[in-house]
């Protein structure tokens, strides 16, 4: 049975929050939802844009390729957030790839329906404008910071990006609710797997973090923030 936008309890979903009550049944009619296993590709860099995606559950990494083959994670996203917006405008080609980090359910809204919703809902259009502006500022800040940072600072920025994206475990307030693989942390930082292993070990020795298997526990959040110059 299709989940209805008009009765959805995801109050921070951009459709639920910024679309009029008249428009929600229309989007419900046109949208489709798909369950993806961990490691699945939702859309790929170079694909034509067919619509916008909204994450109902799960966690997603958005990646771009550079130097022909290397992967760089440019965004981490979770439930109630959107995907695919980077492909809007111009040639209407996705410049990034979206891959699930865990089992996820993602809703697809056809592009013509989304465009008509923007035209008919001024609050939705304004939200998207501010969303793009915030993403641009965050991207520019990250590029400037990483260009001048050493390895430890880059890894600290990566950990803080994970904290800001996914938060801490609700029952264990200094343990990351989700810890990406060491390879993914290297991709966020723009460094190597070996560097991540070494720096995480150094941070653990300094009692800034604690490594519990694949999971990271943050023992000194203020110090991590200072390394990020936040």
Domain CATH for 29: 2.60.120.10
Confidence at residue 50, expressed as pLDDT on a 0 to 100 scale? 92
Is residue 80 domain-shared with residue 190, that is, in the same domain?
no
Q: What is the DSSP string of 163-224?
A: HHHH-EETTEEEEES----HHHHHHHHTS-HHHHHHHHHHHHHTTSEEEETTEEEES-HHHH
Is 143 within a domain?
no
Q: In which domain, by residue range, is 11 found? A: 5-136
Task: Quote the CA–CA distance of 228 and 162 in Å, as a whole number.
Answer: 13
Among 80, 113, 136, give the residue marking a domain's end: 136
Is residue 13 domain-shared with residue 118, that is, in the same domain?
yes
Is the pLDDT confidence value at 194 over 90? yes
Is residue 116 domain-shared with residue 26, that is, in the same domain?
yes
Q: Is the pTM of this model over 0.85?
A: yes
Mean pLDDT computed over 185-198: 93
Is residue 23 domain-shared with residue 124, that is, in the same domain?
yes
Mean pLDDT of the chain: 90
Is the pLDDT confidence value at 74 over 60? yes
Is the pLDDT confidence value at 216 over 80? yes
CATH number at residue 193: 1.10.10.10
- Residue 122: phi and psi, rounded to 5, are -65, -35
Domain count, the chain: 2
Is the pLDDT confidence value at 68 over 80? no
Is residue 171 domain-shared with residue 108, that is, in the same domain?
no
Is 77 within a domain?
yes
pLDDT band at 67 (very low <50, low <70, confident <90, very high): low
pLDDT band at 30 (very low <50, low <70, confident <90, very high): very high
Confidence at residue 1, expressed as pLDDT on a 0 to 100 scale? 61
């Amino acid at each position: 049975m299709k989940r209805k936008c008009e009765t959805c309890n995801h109050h921070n979903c951009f459709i639920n929050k910024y679309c009029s009550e008249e428009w929600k049944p229309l989007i419900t009619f046109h949208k489709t939802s798909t369950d993806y296993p961990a490691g699945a590709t939702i859309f790929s860099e170079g694909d034509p844009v067919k619509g916008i995606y909204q994450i109902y559950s799960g966690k997603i990494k958005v990646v771009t390729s550079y130097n022909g083959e290397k992967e760089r994670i440019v965004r981490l996203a979770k439930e109630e957030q959107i995907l695919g917006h980077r492909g809007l405008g111009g040639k209407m080609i996705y410049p990034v790839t979206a891959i699930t980090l865990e089992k996820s359910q993602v809703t697809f809204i056809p592009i013509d329906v989304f465009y008509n919703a923007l035209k008919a809902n001024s609050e939705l259009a304004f939200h998207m404008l501010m969303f793009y502006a915030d993403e641009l500022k965050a991207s520019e800040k990250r590029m400037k910071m990483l260009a001048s940072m050493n390895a430890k600072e880059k890894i600290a920025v990566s950990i803080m990006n994970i904290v800001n994206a996914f938060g801490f475990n609700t029952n264990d307030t200094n343990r990351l609710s989700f810890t990406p693989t060491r390879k993914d942390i290297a991709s966020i930082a723009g460094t190597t797997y070996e560097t991540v292993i070494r720096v995480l070990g150094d941070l653990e020795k300094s009692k800034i973090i604690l490594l519990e298997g694949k999971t990271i526990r943050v023992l000194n959040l203020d110090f991590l923030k200072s390394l990020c110059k936040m």
